[in-house]
Amino acid sequence: MINLSLNKISGQTRTRCYFTLVVICVLSIVILPSCVDSGTRILYSGSKVGDQISAAYELFTGIDKKTFVADEGDTIAFSYVSSVEKGRLKMEIYNPDDMLITSFSSNNTGIRELDIEQSGKHTVQITGNQTKGRYQISWKILN
C-alpha cells in the first residue's frame, strides 16, 4: 500500500511533490481536451434554436448536431441552403439507430420531404472538413 501522507517528507521534497502535482494537473487540462474530436471553428457563428441549425464561418472542421423527435408515419419538410467556398461540407439526417436516411447536396438550396419510418430521436448532422462558408437546415412536421 502506498502512503500518500506528505507529513513525513522534508520541506524541499514536499515542494517538489506539490510542483509535480500542479504540472500534472495543468498538462491534463491542456492535453486531454485535444484528445476529443471537438474540431476547429474560426470566426464561427452558429445557431440551434427551434427546428433549425445554421452557421457561418471562415473555417469549420468537425461535427455539429441537432436532434428532433419524430414518429413513424410523419412527413417532414426540410429546407436547406449551403454555400461552400472551400473544403467539404456534409449535411445528413440519421434515424434513431444512427443509420443515414438522407443527405443534402452542399453548395445548393432546396426543399425535401422525408417520410419517417421509425419513431424516436433523429439527428441532423453537419460535418465540415477545412470548409469556409455557411449552412442552414430547418424542418417542419407536415402531419
Q: State the pTM of this model.
A: 0.72
Residue 14, φ and ψ in degrees, nearest 5:
-60, -40
| Contact present, 108 and 84 (Cβ < 8 Å) | no
Mind listing the pLDDT tens digit for each residue in 73-124? 999 999 999 999 999 999 999 999 999 999 999 999 999 999 999 999 999 9
At 42, list the grid cell: 474560426
Lowest mean pLDDT among 2-6, 32-36, 115-119, 123-127: 32-36
d(C-alpha 63, C-alpha 111), whole Å: 22
